[in-house]
Structure formats: structure tokens, C-alpha cells
């Protein structure tokens, strides 16, 4: 039987394994020198914007919202075309989520919809770099002018991408990253938060470390002894351990190669599928250099489920990214209704992610292309019948 091709897969080398083993043999497993070094390495990809690592991508969002001061009575604007954590982590802090629709080409947050959603209670407007394509941050910034809201980039898909030549991580007040195995680099589980304001970054770093303050100058009692620390605001243990930061540092050295291979695979898909009836290919704005975490096509004429089932049956692990966040029962039970974000909901009905990861060979990609064409032919025959 032919092996299933996943839609995403990590790329782990002997060098990655050696980096982890070296750290396991060191004196540090949790918070040690690899954490600081990984954060410094990441900052070179954010254009020098400071970074704190965290235990996963959802934690990154929770930490970022906490650092922004999100709490009960606040509102957070979120697009629905995202993994639910972009919204649910704000709810966990007591905020009300306001869903704003996405643009029709990139399926990133629509600046006009965001502007319409902002009120005097808005604390954060969270854009999502869907599939690795940066949102339109300059227009988003303009759309929230006059409010006190911070702009957040959920860049779980887009580390290494650029917008008007500026790196992801430097485009919003806060940026969150995910290093889950299917993402553009991995620490197994892990994430990070970048912040333009060093004070916000320090709040993020404290929150991810249970709120502990050790800096003597910041202590309220400064002469208690070397063991002494304080908690000024409550936080959680979202620390990323040294052993996983060592893996991340090794992975990060190949991020440029990962992005280049993803871009080459996207170009091959674009060329091979350009004339295929029944699908629309992902768009790219001229001002964006995406990191391409996903290759999201749209399957037309109501045949997405049929094509999904057919390709899965032939060993092609296509995926749907994502169920609109406001459709989940947890949000439905809070009164959120279908139909409120028609662009995102229409896209969801058509969306299908084809396999895309650096280790995908040209031959395996050709297998995906052939399977998609065959699935569409079967769908056409059944529809005609």
C-alpha cells in the first residue's frame, strides 16, 4: 500500500538530534543558555525586535494578550479564518471576541471590517497571516487610528516572510509564532512572542514565567537576600525548555532553505494547476513575500468534500484549514451566529490544503497533482450523472 502523504511534516536532521543530545548532556534542561540564545537568533529574523519564547503557539497568544493588558470588559477583534486559539486565548482572559471578516484574495483580516469592529473597548486587533501570506499591516494600522488598540500579528504561519520588504515580527505591536511540527520550523511544541515596546515584552516574559520578578531594581523589597523574588502580577508557566530551544536554534539555521523549498513547491503547484478546471489557486499580493506554510486551493461547485474524500482514499493527506472559529459550539453557545463573516464562511466551504513541506519530493508532488486532477474528473462525472 502506498504511504499516506501528510499535508505537513517536520524536517529533522542528524544535526538537530545532536543539538538536543548535547543539551541533554549539559547542566540545563529547562531555562538555561539555549533559551537566551534562541531568543537572540529569532530576533535576527524579526529585524531586531525583542522576542521571548513560550511553550506553544496557543501560549504565545495567551501571553501576548496578557502583555497587552487584555482583561474582563475588553474586546479583541479576530478574523474567523484561523485556528480557534487566536480567539479562545482572549476569552480565557475574560475578553469579548469580535469577529471581523477576511479579504477575498488573501483571506487575511480585512482592514475595513476591522475598522468597523473597533470600539472604545477594543484592546487588541489580531490579524492572522493566513497560509504564510502577511496581512496588510500598514492599512490595518491606518484602520485603527484614533483608537487605543494594539495591533497583533498571529504569525504562526509566516516566520521568515516579508511585507514591503520588512520582516514578519516587526510589522505589528505584538507578533506571535508557533513552532508546531507542521510549521515552518519546529521545536516539537513551542512558540514565541515579539513586541516592539520593550515594556510590553517584559510583561510577556514575566507572564510566561508565572509572574516572577527577580530583577533587584524592580523588587519592592530589595534587601531580602539572593534567593528573593516577587510576583507583582499573576502569570503562568509557559516556559520553553533549553532542550527544545536547542532544537529550535538548529532548525532556525535552515529556515532560509525551508522557505526557499516551500516557495519552489508553490511555484510548481501554480504551474501545474494553472489550467485545471474546478479549482482556484492561492493569491499573492505584489508587496508580500510569503513564507507559504499552506498551499490552500478552492474547490468549486460544491465538490470540496468529494475531492477531500477521494484524495484521502488514494493516500494524499489533504486538510481543511480552518473551520471558522465562530462556528465552534463554544462560541455558538455564547451567541455567535453563522452568516456574520460571509467571505470567510464561503472560503471555508471551498478550501483544501494540498501537501506542502520541505521534504516533499517533486515526484510526490506530481502524485498530489495527478490525484487532484483525477478526483476532480470523478466529481465531474458524478455531478453530470
Placement of cell 469579548 in the chain: 96
Q: Are residues 265 and 320 part of one domain? A: yes
List of the chain residues with pLDDT < 50: 381, 383-385
Domain membership of residue 42 (yes or no) is: yes
Does residue 96 have an active-site annotation?
no
Looking at residue 88, its pLDDT comes to 98
Q: Are residues 366 and 217 part of one domain? A: no
Q: Are residues 292 and 209 part of one domain? A: no
Residue 367, CA atoms < 13 Å, CB-side half-sphere: 19
Catalytic residue among 96, 123, 183, 285: 183
Cα(27)–Cα(16) distance, rounded to whole angstroms?
A: 19
Q: Are residues 313 and 288 part of one domain? A: yes
Domain membership of residue 104 (yes or no) is: yes
Domain membership of residue 203 (yes or no) is: yes
Q: Are residues 169 and 40 part of one domain? A: yes
Cα(243)–Cα(22) distance, rounded to whole angstroms?
A: 9
Contacts of 187 (CB under 8 A, 6+ apart): 179, 240, 244, 245, 247, 248, 251
The count of structural domains within the chain is 2
Tens of pLDDT, residues 272-288: 999 999 999 999 999 99
Looking at residue 79, its pLDDT comes to 98
The model carries a pTM of 0.96
Residue 158, CA atoms < 13 Å, CB-side half-sphere: 28
Q: Are residues 130 and 170 part of one domain? A: yes
Looking at residue 372, its pLDDT comes to 98
Domain boundary among 252, 278, 301: 252
Looking at residue 369, its pLDDT comes to 98
Domain membership of residue 7 (yes or no) is: no
Parent domain of 285: 255-384
Q: Are residues 259 and 248 part of one domain? A: no
Looking at residue 384, its pLDDT comes to 47
Tens of pLDDT, residues 137-162: 999 999 999 999 999 999 999 999 99
CATH code, domain carrying 246: 3.40.640.10
Q: Are residues 50 and 153 part of one domain? A: yes
Amino acid at each position: 500500500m502506498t504511504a499516506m502523504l501528510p499535508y505537513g511534516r517536520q524536517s529533522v536532521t542528524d544535526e538537530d538530534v545532536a543539538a538536543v543530545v548535547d543539551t541533554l548532556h549539559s547542566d540545563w534542561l529547562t531555562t538555561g543558555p539555549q533559551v537566551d540564545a534562541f531568543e537572540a537568533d529569532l530576533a535576527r529574523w524579526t529585524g531586531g525586535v525583542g522576542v521571548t519564547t513560550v511553550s506553544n503557539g496557543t501560549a504565545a497568544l495567551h501571553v501576548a494578550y496578557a502583555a497587552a493588558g487584555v482583561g474582563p470588559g475588553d474586546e479583541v477583534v479576530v478574523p474567523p479564518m484561523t485556528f480557534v486559539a487566536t480567539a479562545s486565548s482572549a476569552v480565557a482572559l475574560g475578553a469579548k471576541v469580535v469577529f471581523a471578516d477576511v479579504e477575498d484574495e488573501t483571506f487575511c483580516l480585512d482592514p475595513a471590517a476591522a475598522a468597523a469592529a473597533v470600539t472604545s473597548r477594543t484592546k487588541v486587533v489580531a490579524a492572522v497571516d493566513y497560509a504564510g501570506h502577511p496581512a496588510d499591516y500598514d492599512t490595518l494600522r491606518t484602520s485603527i487610528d484614533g483608537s487605543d488598540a494594539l495591533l497583533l500579528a498571529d504569525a504562526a504561519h509566516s516566520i521568515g516572510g516579508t511585507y514591503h520588504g520588512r520582516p514578519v515580527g516587526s510589522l505589528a505591536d505584538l507578533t506571535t509564532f508557533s513552532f508546531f511540527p507542521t510549521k515552518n520550523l519546529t521545536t516539537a511544541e513551542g512558540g514565541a512572542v515579539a513586541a516592539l515596546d520593550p515594556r510590553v515584552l517584559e510583561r510577556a516574559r514575566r507572564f510566561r514565567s508565572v509572574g516572577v520578578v527577580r530583577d533587584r531594581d524592580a523588587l519592592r523589597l530589595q534587601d531580602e537576600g539572593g534567593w528573593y523574588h516577587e510576583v507583582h502580577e499573576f502569570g503562568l508557566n509557559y516556559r520553553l525548555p533549553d532542550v527544545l530551544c536547542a532544537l529550535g536554534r538548529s532548525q532556525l539555521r535552515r529556515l532560509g532553505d525551508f522557505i526557499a523549498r516551500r516557495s519552489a513547491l508553490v511555484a510548481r503547484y501554480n504551474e501545474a494547476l494553472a489550467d485545471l478546471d474546478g479549482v482556484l489557486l492561492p493569491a499573492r499580493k505584489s508587496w508580500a513575500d510569503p513564507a507559504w506554510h499552506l498551499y490552500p486551493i478552492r474547490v468549486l461547485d460544491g465538490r470540496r468534500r468529494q475531492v477531500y474524500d477521494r484524495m484521502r482514499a488514494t493516500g494524499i493527506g489533504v486538510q481543511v484549514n480552518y473551520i471558522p472559529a465562530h462556528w465552534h459550539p463554544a462560541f455558538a453557545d455564547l451567541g455567535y451566529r453563522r452568516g456574520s463573516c460571509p467571505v470567510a464562511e464561503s472560503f471555508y466551504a471551498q478550501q483544501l490544503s494540498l501537501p506542502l513541506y520541505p521534504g516533499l519530493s517533486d515526484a510526490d508532488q506530481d502524485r498530489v497533482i495527478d490525484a487532484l486532477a483525477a478526483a476532480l474528473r470523478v466529481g465531474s462525472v458524478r455531478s453530470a450523472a
